[in-house]
Amino acid sequence: MYWPTDPTQWLSPTGCLSAWVAEAGGIITGHVCVVGGVEDPVVASAAGVHSNRLATVSRLFVAPAGRGRRLGASMLAAASSYASALGLQLMLDVVDDGGPAVALYERLGWRLVDRRLADWTTQEGDRLHVRIYLAPPANDAAK
């Protein structure tokens, strides 16, 4: 993926409810935010909730220097706890490339509910295939 030309705007998407960063030695090594206002009837139906109860994980990344320290799992746990406290069902999408992010979500108990083309495009104008996951129940999210 490419770093955006306006990282501040990219890291604060419309509907951002809260965000967290991971840091080591004063250097930011990861980021995640929770975005509300999700309109996705397919996922809402799979979750058994009204669309106004959906929120999504967004802008989750761990810098190469921070990998292997369970930062992704920790940031997902923080986002999940936050969403649960607000009574929101958390979801996420991830590029369907079979990479480490997919393995992380599945290891943490996120449930695959859909596969589709992304609603965003790459710099080349391509729409990639993504997987849509629902967060595990709150008591399972910290595994």
> What digits encode the pLDDT tens for the residues 8-38?
777 788 899 999 999 988 988 999 999 999 9
Percent of the chain's residues with pLDDT above 90: 66
Q: State how far Cα 136 lies from the chain centre.
A: 13
> What digits encode the pLDDT tens for the residues 119-142?
988 889 999 999 999 999 875 544
| 5: pLDDT strictly greater than 90 | no
Task: Write the burial class of residue 92 (CB in 10 Å: 0-12 exposed, 13-18 middle, 19+ buried).
Answer: buried
Residue 142: per-residue pLDDT: 46
Token pair listed for 53: 């109860």
| 107: pLDDT strictly greater than 50 | yes
* Chain mean pLDDT for the chain: 90
| 143: pLDDT strictly greater than 60 | no
Asked whether the beta carbons of 134 and 108 are under 8 A apart, the reply is no
Residue 127: per-residue pLDDT: 95
Q: For the chain, how many residues are written? A: 143
DSSP character at residue 11: H
Residue 131: CB atoms within 10 Å = 21
| Distance from C-alpha of 33 to C-alpha of 35, rounded to nearest angstrom | 6
Residue ranges and CATH numbers for the domains of the chain are 17-140 (3.40.630.30)
Alpha-helix runs per DSSP H in 89-134: 100-107
